[in-house]
Chains A and B, each alone.
Chain A
Amino acid sequence: MKTYDIVIVGGGPAGLAAAVSARKNGTESILVLERDRELGGILNQCIHNGFGLHTFKEELTGPEYAGRFIGQVKELQIAYKLNTMVMDISRDKIVTAMNSTDGLFEIQAGAVILAMGCRERSRGALNIPGYRPAGIFSAGTAQRLVNMEGYLPGRKVVILGSGDIGLIMARRMTLEGAQVQVVAELMPYSGGLKRNIVQCLDDYGIPLKLSHTVVEIRGKERVEGITLAQVDDRGKPIPGTEEDYECDTLLLSVGLIPENELSSGMGVELSRVTSGPVVNECLETNIEGVFACGNVLHVHDLVDYVSEEAAAAGKNAARYVQEKRVISKERPEGIVAEQRKSGTGDENIAAQGTGSVSRGHIVDVQAADGVRYTVPARINVERMEDILTVRFRVGGVYKNCFISVYLDDKRILHRKRPVMAPGEMEEVKLRKEELRQYPELKAVTVKLEEV
């Protein structure tokens, strides 16, 4: 069986940035496994601009942004395999993968970085009633057909869901000659970035109907029309508010789901809120040496943050591999494994799940009062970076509220934000020095406060 120090599952923005970072942090033996025909992931179909403002201080298209990282991967001579599907990962990090040239093969990984990205929620997940004709696409599928293959999925379009891909596709379909009649959004606010609403809908005169949903799809063979209705505050359609639209296409941009089937198959603990792994300050899951980053961990709004997060995962994985090597040189392999397995009663999961020798001071990170989740969910104070970014999303639209961070009962941050919305990711920074001042600290709480 071949061995690699780090196997990265996924060659999209997260996997690429993790690979580059792991190499720059000293790991030679890295393999990226990508299921598609080329590196870059979904960025390849995101031909619009607006990428890279944070990372490169310039505005790039998706393929250009991916190209920067692909260039680095090639320059650093990091190994990768395309058209390769990871079929299974075992708890002891044997990665089973398949492609048409190597067949079915196994690799022993020292560390694994999960970077599989996400998939789009389908019509079925929403249980939209009606017929099931051709002409119903998730926005990303339509984006691939248009931007990568040059085909127009339809001419008269209604879009359900104002997630970013839906907004981007409203503009794209318009530019390619289709007529986009309306974007409907179930929630009273958009799920996408403000800038996308302005640049993709407002600039083209495409109406956005908040608190609306599709209650009927007509057409037996191809979509012939849909019915929109207004919904009440519980999301239920209000009778009498129905409006019929004639269209041949319905695009759905109704949410993204991290693709964690491989993760859960190997026993990675998942969050019910994000559907992504629960991770510690190293972005390490409950399984030692298995890290996660990018949209498989939690759905991001900007790829720049994915790159940043993935670089951290890559760095931590590199550190894990190096520390493990040091340990195994000091002590025979069997003993280390045995000790890890048994553990001791007072050890906590995060302390066990580290290649680091330090046991450390483990603190929970809790989301409360309008904050839906945090990444990470646990911190080993000794092992955290000097400044640790905690990312989160809020559960509704909040105006002139404060983001607060508490160390147990003590508030250490109180930052006013004019607007916060579920479509935009938020972050706070924790300083190691500050946390270390509280040796009894149990929990860091991130919450929203009105005053």
Chain B
Amino acid sequence: MYDVIIIGAGVSGCASARELSRYKARICVLEKAEDVCCGTSKANSAIAHAGYDAATGSLMAKLNVQGSRMMEQLSKELDFEFRRTGSLVLCRNEEDMLKLQELYDRGNANGVEGLRILNQEELRKMEPNISDDAVAALYAPTAGIVCPFGMNIAFAENACANGVEFRFDTEVQGIGRSDAGWAVETNRGQFETKCVVNAAGVYADVIHNMVSDKKIKITPRRGDYCLLDKSAGNHVSKVIFALPNQFGKGILVTPTVHGNLLVGPTAIDIENKEGVNTTREGLAQVLERAGESVKNLPMRSVITSFAGLRAHEENHEFIIGEADGAEGFIDCAGIESPGLTASPAIGAMVAGTVRDLLRLEENPEFVGTRQGILNPQKMSAEDRKKLIREKPAYGNIICRCEMVTEGEIIDAVKRPLGAKSLDGVKRRTRAGMGRCQAGFCSPRVMEILARECGKEISDITKSGGNSRIVVGTNKDVL
């Protein structure tokens, strides 16, 4: 019997769990995948938006600006990567100046600080690789870039440290009323809870519609991205947007917190909630449009491409609060961009709602800080030498592209809510995320995973389920 069950271990669910762990309650997060951060939260633009996009007065606008303001402090408390780089929205012809002005006005109305419209000269000076036809830009100094995995995992680990339970590979199949509140049916049995938080991403409509007569619809809006090598990481220093259109913020070009360059996304509405396949047209469009915003884009440096699904709700608004006719069932739905930015504020809002509902008391043992995986690259040479003397595994480089050591990988596997798969290790340590895309390190990481988890090599997966890396041994069928 739980006080709260949170469905979904993406960034909204984990932020909510972390905020709820401030209170005395039995909390459990149910996640259908094998790890946290496996859906929308892992495949997005990794941007902390300033907050000028969303309609003034909307919940989206409010939580975006709140989230943006919380980000820096939170990144220190929870030890994840965040950098306030600023962003630019480019205006590429004089006729569009009105739209730029509109964004500027909306941003001011939303409470975004420091907005400025730059003329061509100022723009060039700030960002030399910007396209020649950009005539002006909206500069938002409060925008930034964040590690989406890092943030999601940080929320989860901090929640876990404060007593929240996580159940992975646990898919919700039905929700019904029970004496205490709700009975949640899963592939791993039934769980009773007083309160449910629906943070199921692109499946939030399915979960919501199990309990409420007022139906909602979440449309997966697919976005293709290309990630470029670190050699291209300094091509721009800020997040570069085109002017928004009906499908959102268009194709952006941005540095990542790890020094790569990211371009994307497209915006295609699809039916398949698992449809994270990139398409030839999509990838071509990404590179073409990105080339319109910045010049001399080194397209030869693409190291990987991926697609993510935004959980698009038809009114383009966050749905946060108790569902109609379903007391104790709290939606956290329609969390599309700027959902990552807003997540700290979303978590606080959800937690506040649940606290009031269940009259939760504060948890005096709550610890609001968390230590991430030790990154030796950030240490001084002296400290690093000392570390290796004490723990030799930190002297052993496993991922040569990202210079990730065995020590970091062991930490990633052994810590609470640790990595169980190659992708889990990758999201936590970056091993396999570099220019060779795990070509060299995957056999080594498999070995470490097998050793540390007491598994066979043949049981090691890319991302849980049936994603085994090897299928047998040589000549086993001959």
Contacts and interface: CB of A to CB of B under 8 A. Distances in A.
A248 B471 contact: yes
Interface in A111-163: 119-120, 122-125, 127, 129-134, 138, 140-141, 144-146, 149-155
Contact of A122 (B303, B457, B475): B303
A49 B304 CA distance: 34
Given A152-B476, A221-B463, A221-B466, A130 B278 contact: yes
A176 interface: yes
A237 interface: yes
Contacts of A248: 471
Interface residues of B, number: 58
Contacts of B457: 149, 151
Interface of A: 35, 83, 85, 87, 98-104, 119-120, 122-125, 127, 129-134, 138, 140-141, 144-146, 149-155, 176-177, 215-218, 220-222, 237, 248, 264
Contacts of B470: 145, 151-153
A104 B406 CA distance: 15
Contacts of B463: 134, 221
A99 B439 contact: no
13 contacts: A85-B403, A119-B440, A120-B436, A125-B302, A129-B277, A129-B283, A132-B276, A133-B462, A151-B457, A153-B469, A218-B277, A221-B462, A248-B471
Interface in B144-196: none
Given A100-B395, A132-B276, A152-B471, 18 more contacts: A35-B397, A100-B406, A101-B392, A119-B440, A122-B304, A124-B302, A124-B303, A127-B305, A130-B278, A134-B461, A140-B439, A152-B470, A155-B471, A155-B477, A216-B277, A221-B463, A221-B466, A222-B468
Interface of B: 226-227, 231, 274, 276-280, 282-283, 302-306, 381, 384-385, 388-389, 392-397, 400, 403, 406, 435-440, 442-443, 457-458, 461-478
Contacts of B403: 85, 87
A177 B470 CA distance: 14
B441 to A, nearest CB: 9
Given A149-B457, A176-B474, A99 B395 contact: yes
A85 B302 contact: no
A149 B436 CA distance: 20
Given A120-B436, A138-B439, A149-B443, A104 B384 contact: yes
Nearest to B392: A100
Contact of A127 (B226, B385, B406, B461): B226
Q: Which 7 A-B pairs have the closest CB atoms?
A: A124-B304, A100-B395, A100-B392, A122-B437, A134-B462, A151-B470, A134-B467
What is the interface of chain A mostly: helix, strand, loop, or mixed?
mixed
A150 B474 contact: yes
Contacts of B381: 104
Highest count of chain B CB atoms <10 Å: which of A120, A127, A138, A144: A127
A222 to B, nearest CB: 5
B279 to A, nearest CB: 5
Nearest to A252: B439
A1 to B, nearest CB: 12
A216 B278 CA distance: 9
B439 A98 contact: no
B388 A221 contact: no
Contact of B435 (A119, A127, A216): A119
A427 B470 CA distance: 41
Given A87-B403, A123-B437, A177-B474, A100 B458 contact: no
Given A103-B389, A151-B474, A176-B475, A141 B306 contact: no
A249 to B, nearest CB: 8
A264 B435 CA distance: 15
A103 B385 contact: yes
Given A100-B388, A127-B283, A131-B276, A150 B400 contact: no
